A and B are shown apart, each in its own frame.
Chain A
Amino acid sequence: MAQLRRTRGRAALPYLLLLPALAAELLIHLVPMVVGIVMSFKQLTQFFIRDWSTAPWSGTANYRMAVDFHAPVGQALLNSFWVTCAFTVLSVGLSWLVGSTAAIMMQDAFRGRALLRAAFLLPYALPVFAAVITWSFMFQRDTGLINHVLHDQLHLVKQKPFWLIGDNSFTALLTVSVWRSWPFAFLTLTAGLQNIPRELYEAAAMDGAGVWQQIRRITLPSLRPVNQVLVLVLFLWTFNDFNTPFVLFGKAAPKAADLISIHIYQSSFVTWNFGSGSAMSVLLLLFLLLVTAVYLFATNRRRGADD
């Protein structure tokens, strides 16, 4: 390493190695994002999309409309924001819980473990559209599997509930989301578990530690670095997820399941108001940057303390 660093003429090498990545990010993400920010200050409606450089500047009007929580637009955005937060917290939490439970339970070898592990990876491997459209088929009120089981077979409910409209749509969305993302948590945590030396458990068992104590004292602390990465990644994916609600509900999601990505899509593409859609996106971006910065700062500091 020291040698590498000392070599002259190679100072440019790391930059050359980074160049393709930088160029791609610049072209696909950063430049369009800057344009998006510019758009958010314009009154970019259907009258101007043919040549949006002629769209009049609207100052902060788009932002003011988005955060005016007394007017319907702001109210709807705020509602969508809270729905998204609740959805993200629950989905990430449940995915993590289910994933780690399964990973811990499958830590020891038993007959059929390999088969089960393969089965558990299926939701992650199925294409989003195929998986989610199947769920929407299952959630249909009159002809779906869910109500058939709940109502016709188990008699758990008196009346068939709606899943794709109304308040239950939140539950439906959460179910699909957890179904899709817990295998990733499972996979990651399984990988993490494999790095825990077996001797630790043996030593603990000798000390008379039971199952819970082994999990609490050995498993969970060893998984902490994995969890840090996992939770952040799941958070970002879930918060920005567009594919799942779009396939499940189409262009207009029910209020209870109106995730922010769909909400912004509706505010820009469906109602042709790209300025206001962009303003909402910028607000969303700022929020995500803030959360991630806080998260990274917290975890970095801890890592610093560990060193």
Chain B
Amino acid sequence: MINPPAWFRRLRRLVLLLLTVFTLTPVAVMLSSSLKPLQDVQGPWRWVPSHLTLRPYLDIWTTVPLARYFTNSLIVAGSATGLSVLIAVLAGYAVSRYRFRGRRLFTVTVLSTQMFPGILFLLPLFLLFVNIGNFTGLALYGSRGGLILTYLTFSLPFSIWMLVGYFDSIPRDLDEAAAVDGCGPLRTLAQIVVPAAIPGIVAVAVYAFMTAWGEVLFASVMTNDQTRTLAVGLQGYATQTDVYWNQVMAASLVVSLPVVAGFLLLQRYLVAGLTAGAVK
């Protein structure tokens, strides 16, 4: 926009202020509540704690095994992201660079799986895992592996879709130049296409990570005490006798911190990567 008039700037200030309040209020609530004693969070809302306490930040580790849940979530979301991106890059490359029979069928089928209501295949998937376990001894049910396998497919359709768009936007001259230099297709992919597509890949990875990090339904049925992830584990602060709101908030902040930090570090890529494919 060129030379926005004064009224536009004033309007902008107002709108952005309101949006900031809307966006940050829950974060402020988390922060304030996590520093309150339990009576405060069970009584009427107050902005300032009746007395500041760091107790919730100490108690969160003993009320539930938070460290274990955190590790589980990191392993599950991290592995699912890595695998999902790898598989999506391969598939996206194939769809973007080759014309083969079944190409359209593949894209439509994969895309349509994005629409499956999770609730429809939760029980069948669970039974399938159990059967695979019975036949092969491969423990999928209750293990992190099963969850990783499940989550990687959740983000796969969207990831492939986005990467096809992104790869399409990378000039084919680059591939052909590499081919002339004697590179095979896989080396071309690894050395030419992937580096050129880093923003798109990062965007896809962040998306995959967030999907796996927050999933509740499958995690609640498919994990046990040892493999439980944060999304389900945080519910442990609501116990038979009490809801430890201050601890819920403290734990939420603690586990969010690394994720948010990583997210903000990568946001540069995200902005560049999210729609390049669709735009060009």
Please determine if A and B sit in direct contact within the complex, based on CB atoms under 8 angstroms apart: yes
Chain A residues with a Cβ under 8 A of chain B: 1, 3-5, 10-11, 13-15, 17-18, 20-22, 24-25, 27-33, 35-36, 39, 52, 98, 101-102, 104-108, 116-131, 133-135, 137-138, 142-145, 147-148, 179, 183, 187-188, 190-192, 194-195, 201-202, 204-205, 210-211, 214-215, 219, 225-226, 228-230, 233, 236, 240, 242-243, 246-247, 260-261, 264-265, 268-269, 274, 277-278, 281-282, 284-285, 288-289, 292
Query: 8 Å CB contacts to A: which residues of B6-49?
Result: 8, 12, 15-16, 19-20, 22-27, 29-30, 33, 41-45
Which residues of B are found within 8 Å of A192, using beta-carbon distances? 275, 278-279
CB proximity of B277 to chain A, nearest CB, Å:
8
Sampled A-B contacts (7; CB under 8 Å): A18-B91, A25-B113, A31-B128, A33-B120, A133-B248, A225-B278, A264-B117
Q: Looking at B43, B45, B125, B252, which has the most chain A CB atoms within 10 Å of its CB?
A: B45
Which residues of A are found within 8 Å of B264, using beta-carbon distances? 118, 121, 125
Which residues of A are found within 8 Å of B141, using beta-carbon distances? none
In the complex the two chains form, what is the Cα distance from A148 to B278 in whole Å? 44
In the complex the two chains form, what is the Cα distance from A22 to B273 in whole Å? 25
Cβ of B271 < 8 Å from any Cβ of A?
A: yes
Which residues of A are found within 8 Å of B279, using beta-carbon distances? 191-192, 195, 225-226
Partner of A236 from B3, B86, B115 at Cβ < 8 Å: B115
Known: A243-B214, A285-B117. A122 touches B278 (CB 8 A): no
Q: Across chains A and B, which 5 residue pairs bring their CB atoms closest together, nearest first?
A: A130-B252, A281-B120, A128-B214, A35-B124, A32-B121
Closest to A37 in B: B120
The B interface is mostly helix, strand or loop, or mixed, namely helix
In the complex the two chains form, what is the Cα distance from A285 to B120 in whole Å? 9
Which residues of A are found within 8 Å of B259, using beta-carbon distances? 125-127
Count of CB-CB pairs between chains A and B under 8 Å:
303
Partner of A102 from B16, B97, B255 at Cβ < 8 Å: B16
The A interface is mostly helix, strand or loop, or mixed, namely helix
Which residues of A are found within 8 Å of B5, using beta-carbon distances? 210-211
Contact A134 B30 (CB under 8 A): yes
Cβ of B172 < 8 Å from any Cβ of A?
A: yes
